[in-house]
């Protein structure tokens, strides 16, 4: 073997686990990208749980597919000729350092995908030091998450306006009392819409155990065992206002009465006036809405279409990102979500001005495929892929991405 042959043989790169899972190299061999996790999740958890994680609004999940296609269409032109260095991808968001410009989007119902899901997500985020947003409709309380993930805990609030926002303000008070530093108000659910795959599986609006559901659970023994360990999914934050012994459907009915509409600008102002930490609005698409939020003193915006779960006619957030960055990027932190499934997507978002990309469904597929180990594996994959993308593009750090030449065919101009 001469020297040239030796150089031509690619070396196996050691894999570093940000989630501190010694099994990462083994998991990586079986699930080398998020799409493998999605396929495994489909077979590994009850059908209703997979449909909940995977389905969008409208015909054939058109909005979800648009989010993916819009990201896929973005091309970044690399620069070569400099030696690659191990690219650092730490970021600072609202005065705190995180390992990567990647975070866990708020989701009601990770515990449907895998019992205890909220806790597994929060634990993995804390280990890897990436932001974790607990949803108002999540399966763990603000107090529980503050104990598990004290350094990375952001709290997402839906509009709970009855009795002059008594419940919403109480949740915010509780979050502040346990040290949460970042509040996220979601603006993009003004009405309830239909997700056909949830309706067809019978879990939209209420959860009734029937023979079909039981048969699905019987085919997913790992999920059933986790159910035995962690208990039935619950709206933990809201449950405390209904009563400790309330049934799941009583809590769901309560949530449907209380969770109504999206925050008005006056209401955003009300929360801004009371919340002392950083405040973000999530679900912005129009640059003028971002402008309005920033004028009210909001520190950050998340450009999002709720991952294609509201209506399929919304544009992909990545296509609005440059316009929002142009509008408010010098005065506020602009972030995005919807459709992010890989480190290349994270890098595309960062290159177009997002300070961080948040990830929803990919984390659910990780949970569905691998249970407790899933969220950490998704984090490890995404950070690894982000670093690889930086190296491949000739970027020595994240900021180098901003000077690349970019083809962005779907970018919306205002
Ligand atoms: C099952 C599920 C539940 C969700 N629940 C919430 C929620 O309670 N609050 C919220 O602001 N967004 C919620 N979202 C939207 C996510 O925060 C995020 O915007 C979206 O998932 C990002 O798109 P992606 O799934 O393509 O990554 C949910 C998304 C999913 C998939």
Q: What are the pLDDT digits (tens) for 59-105?
A: 999 999 999 999 999 999 999 988 777 788 999 999 999 999 999 99
Whether the pLDDT of residue 314 is over 80: the answer is yes
Under the banding of pLDDT at 50, 70 and 90, the label for residue 204 is confident
- Residues 6+ away with beta carbon under 8 Å from 350: 101, 357, 398, 401, 402
Residue 8: pLDDT band (50, 70, 90) is very low
Ligand 1: nearest atom to the Cα of 302: 19
Nearest to 263 by CA among 233, 238, 296: 296
Instruction: Please give the pLDDT value at position 1.
Output: 38
Instruction: Look over the chain and give the mean of its residue pLDDT values, rounded to a whole number.
Output: 94
Active site residue 96: no
Sign (positive or negative) of CA dihedral 27, 29, 32, 36: negative
Q: What is the pLDDT of residue 12?
A: 59
Question: Are the CB atoms for 21 and 328 separated by under 8 Å?
Answer: no
Does the pLDDT at position 7 exceed 90?
Answer: no
Of all protein residues, the one whose alpha carbon is nearest to atom 5 of ligand 1 is: 107
User: Over 90: is that where the pLDDT of 244 sits?
Assistant: no
Over residues 142-170, the mean pLDDT reads 96
CA distance 207 to 210: 9
Q: How far apart are CA 238 and CA 228, in angstroms?
A: 22
Contact 360 CB / ligand 1 (< 6 Å): yes
Out of 163-167, 182-186, 230-234, 363-367, least confident range: 230-234
* pLDDT in the model for residue 25: 93
Q: Which atom of ligand 1 is nearest to the CA of 283?
A: 19
CB of 203 sitting under 6 A from ligand 1: no
Of the residues 47, 120, 165, 306, only one is catalytic, namely 306
| C-alpha to C-alpha distance for 320 and 318, rounded to whole angstroms | 5
CA of 65 from ligand 1 middle (Å) equals 15
Average the pLDDT over each of 132-136, 237-241, 388-392 and give the range with the smallest value.
237-241
pLDDT at 13: 67
Token pair in block for residue 118: 């909220």
What pLDDT band is residue 393 in, cutting at 50, 70 and 90?
A: very high
pTM of the predicted model as reported, rounded to 2 decimal places = 0.96
Give the pLDDT score at 336: 98
Q: Which atom of ligand 1 is nearest to the CA of 338?
A: 23
Whether residue 224 has pLDDT greater than 90: yes
Closest Cα to residue 189, out of 299, 280, 309? 309
- How confident is the model over 146-163, as a mean pLDDT? 96
Question: How many CB atoms are closer than 10 A to CB 36?
Answer: 16
pLDDT given for residue 82 in this prediction: 84
């Amino acid at each position: 073997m001469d020297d040239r042959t030796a150089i031509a043989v690619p070396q196996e790169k050691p894999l570093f686990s940000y989630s501190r899972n010694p099994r990462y190299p083994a998991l990586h061999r079986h699930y080398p990208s998020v799409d493998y996790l999605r396929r495994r999740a489909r077979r590994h958890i009850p059908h209703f749980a997979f449909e909940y994680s995977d389905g969008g609004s409208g015909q054939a999940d058109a909005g979800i597919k648009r989010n993916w296609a819009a990201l896929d269409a973005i091309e970044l032109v690399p620069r070569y000729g400099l030696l690659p260095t191990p690219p650092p991808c730490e970021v600072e968001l609202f005065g705190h350092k995180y390992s990567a410009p990647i975070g866990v989007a708020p989701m009601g119902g990770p515990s449907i995908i895998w019992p205890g899901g909220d806790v597994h997500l929060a634990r993995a985020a804390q280990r890897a030091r990436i932001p974790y947003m607990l949803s108002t409709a999540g399966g763990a309380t603000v107090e529980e998450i503050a104990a598990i993930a004290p350094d990375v805990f952001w709290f997402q609030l839906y509009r709970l306006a009855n009795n002059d926002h008594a419940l919403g303000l109480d949740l915010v008070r509780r979050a502040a009392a346990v040290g949460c530093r970042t509040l996220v108000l979601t603006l993009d659910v003004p009405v309830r819409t239909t997700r056909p795959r949830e309706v067809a599986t019978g879990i939209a609006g209420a959860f009734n155990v029937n023979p079909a559901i039981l048969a699905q659970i019987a085919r997913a023994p790992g999920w059933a065992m986790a159910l035995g360990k962690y208990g039935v999914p619950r709206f933990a934050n809201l449950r405390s206002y209904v009563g400790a012994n309330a049934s799941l459907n009583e809590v769901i009915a309560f949530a449907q009465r209380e969770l109504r509409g999206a925050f008005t600008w006056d209401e955003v102002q009300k929360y801004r006036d009371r919340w002392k930490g950083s405040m973000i609005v999530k679900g912005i698409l129009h640059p003028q809405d971002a402008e309005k939020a920033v004028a009210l003193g909001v520190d950050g915006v998340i450009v999002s279409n709720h991952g294609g779960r509201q209506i399929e006619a919304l544009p992909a957030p990545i296509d609005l990102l440059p316009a929002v960055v142009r509008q408010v990027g010098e005065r506020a932190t602009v972030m995005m979500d919807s459709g992010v499934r890989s480190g290349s997507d994270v890098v595309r978002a960062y290159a177009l001005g997002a300070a961080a990309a948040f990830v929803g469904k990919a984390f659910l597929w990780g949970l569905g495929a691998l249970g407790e180990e899933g969220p950490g594996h998704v984090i490890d994959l995404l950070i690894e892929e982000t670093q690889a993308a930086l190296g491949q593009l000739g970027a020595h750090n994240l900021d180098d991405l901003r000077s690349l030449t970019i083809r962005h065919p779907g970018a919306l101009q205002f």
